[in-house]
Structure 1
Amino acid sequence: MKEENIGAELRALNISLLRYLAKHKVRTNKEKPDCPDETRGLQVWVIDYLINHQDEDVFQRDLEKEFVMRRPTATNFVKKMEQAGLIRREPVSYDARLKKIILTDKAFELQAGMMAKKKEFETLLRGDLSEEEINQFIATIQKIKHNLQEH
């Protein structure tokens, strides 16, 4: 029996996801004008995260941790979201070095379209998987992430 290579399978899955998103980006944005080009991919998940954490001060380091990004990647990502008018950064009174990330009115106006897009993608990913398969997949992914964090 051939032993499966987890790393290769994860890489292939990632490539498939990226190809699907690239292929359907233009069509999706034309079909959903309330979800323009600047709100795609990870930005949708970040906006959702910020909406769910409105009662907290959220900083770039929080996004780095939540979305497993290195600091330079997060810096560029936050700058792009700011340039797109989706977020703004404001200093906090208790630490002059920190700037909290706040959603703009534009991001809130786009929320419904973005969440519909996110739900549609999640439905596609779940396809014909049972709840048990989904739960096991999520548990396995979490264990793999934990294994990688330990080293």
Structure 2
Amino acid sequence: MFSSDRKIKKLGLNAQQGRIIKYIYEHQDEGLIQKDLADTFGRTTASITSMLKGLEKKGYIRREIPANNERQKNIYVEEKGVNLIETFDKVFMQIENEVTDCLTDEEKESFKNILIKINNNLK
């Protein structure tokens, strides 16, 4: 296990939760709803709902019912969640460095391009 993995576990969250908090933060001004997260992350709305309840309980996010549509809840990151994003970014960078440390710059670039190609193929 990478030392960075242990750091993520110490935060009481997993990598997926960290990515979701960051995504919410980056898109919260767009009226982000749970279905958007389910579509973006390829998860069921039920699993997203469960995850959001946990994040809300820990004080990382809040869900609000907008006045113009009482059937949905917009999602926002709380200050505690914003602070966590910076920590996750540092940990993810450490993981990337640990994984690619044995590669040359040229190999890192090739690896990155292959991952982008695979990701695009999965969409």
TM range (shorter): 0.7 to 0.9
1:73 counterpart = 2:9: no
1:132 counterpart = 2:110: yes
Task: Determine the structure 2 residue equivalent to 1:115.
Answer: 89
Name stretches of at least 5 consecutive residues in structure 1 with no aligned partner. 1-19, 147-151
Aligned pair in 2 of structure 1 residues 138, 112: CA closer, same or farther (>3 Å)?
same
1:85 counterpart = 2:59: yes
Task: Determine the structure 2 residue equivalent to 1:28.
Answer: 7
Aligned pair in 2 of structure 1 residues 94, 122: CA closer, same or farther (>3 Å)?
farther
Q: Which runs of 4+ in 1 moved over 3 A?
A: 124-127
1:73 Cα shift?
1.1
Equivalent residue of 1:130, what SS? helix
TM-score (norm 1): 0.67
Equivalent residue of 1:94, what SS? coil
- Aligned partners of 2:119, 2:88: CA distance in 1, in Å? 25
Which structure's relative contact order is higher, taking Cα pairs within 8 Å and 6+ residues apart? 2
Q: Amino acid of the residue matched to residue 7 of structure 2?
A: T
TM-score (norm 2): 0.80
1:142 counterpart = 2:120: yes
- Aligned partners of 1:66, 1:133: CA distance in 2, in Å? 24
Q: Give the share of equivalent positions with the same residue, in percent.
A: 25
- Aligned partners of 1:87, 1:126: CA distance in 2, in Å? 32
Name the larger-Rg structure.
1
Query: Whose helix fraction is larger, Structure 1's or Structure 2's?
Result: 2
Aligned pair in 2 of structure 1 residues 124, 62: CA closer, same or farther (>3 Å)?
farther
CA RMSD of aligned residues (A): 2.4
- Aligned partners of 1:125, 1:64: CA distance in 2, in Å? 28
**Equivalenced residues, count:** 119
1:29 Cα shift?
5.4
